[in-house]
Amino acid sequence: MLPAEVREAFDNLCHDGRPLVWVATSSDGVPHLAPVCFVRVLEDGRLLIGSVFLVRTERNLEENPRIALGVAFRRGGWDGYLIRGRAQVLREGELLESFRREVLERTGGKRRLRSALLVSVEEVYSLAPGYGGKRLV
């Protein structure tokens, strides 16, 4: 389960000055980094990441399901989290369809999800200055 302060970090991403989430994957030892802003924290602590332009990220995950996410923001001072886990690409199903509707509504119809990444969280670390590297989960 994600701690409450980590769940809060994902609320209202890309709105009101909130940060992007950076998604890191790799294939054949070559790292890849992509920014995303559509992230939903599910009740069970998994993360659902909306894929609009993540073609290479999806291709990497099909070969290697390991994923890392980074988010940094100002909450009084700088704060942030590194999350590691495993992801699968969702191309159909009610979970994806409900997320598609949410993203269409949030963007006024400007963005449509191609798919979603379902992330099972395995590790969470603080990136806060002075606490950087402290494992939370």
Contact predicate 25/84, CB 8 Å: no
Average pLDDT value for residue range 59-82 = 89
In a domain, 87, yes or no: yes
**Which pTM was predicted?**
0.87
CB contact at 8 A, 128 and 79: yes
**Average pLDDT of the residues in 84-102:** 96
Mean pLDDT of 109-124: 95
Establish if 132 belongs to a structural domain: no
Residue 68 lies in a domain: yes
Domain total for the chain? 1
- 110: how many CB neighbours lie within 10 A of its CB? 9
Domain residue limits at 93? 4-126
The enclosing domain of 53 has a CATH number of: 2.30.110.10
Q: Is residue 81 part of a domain?
A: yes
Residue 16 domain flag? yes
Residue 136 inside a domain? The answer is: no
